[in-house]
Amino acid sequence: MSVDYYFKYLNAQNRVLLEEYRKSIQNQMWATSIILALTIIDNILSDDNNLDYIDGLDINHFKNSKDFNWLRLRRNQILHYEGPKEGFFESKDSINVLKMDSLRANKILKKCFSEFFK
C-alpha cells in the first residue's frame, strides 16, 4: 500500500516532512532521505495523538528492532562525521552506498507505517 494511505494519520509537521522526503527521493538526495525517514518515524513515536492508532507493544517492538537501530545508527553516522575517512562509510562509491541505504530506510519507513497504522 502506498504511503499516501497513511497521510491521514500524520500530524501537520509530519505531512510536510513526508512531502520533503518524497522530493528527496525524486531528486536522488539519498543522505537527506535517510535523515528524513528517521525524523518522520521519531515524530510518529513522540506524537501522543497517535496513541489512538498505535499499540504500546508495537512501539516497543519497533524501537527494539534491528532495522530501527540500523536507521538511527546510519543517520547519526551521516550527521556526526568522524573523520578522516574516504567517502561515506569508508567507501569510494559513496553515492551508491547512500542510494542502497536510502532504499533500506524507505523499507523501514513503510514498515513503520504498516505496523503502526493497521
Give the tens place of pLDDT for each residue, 11-31: 999 999 999 999 999 999 999
Domain span holding position 19: 3-116
pTM for this entry: 0.87
CB-based contact 33:98 (threshold 8 Å): no
The total of structural domains in the chain comes to 1
Lowest mean pLDDT across 57-66, 74-83, 96-105? 74-83
CA 103-49-111 angle, 5° bins: 20
Cα separation, 54 vs 51, whole angstroms:
5
CB-based contact 105:37 (threshold 8 Å): yes
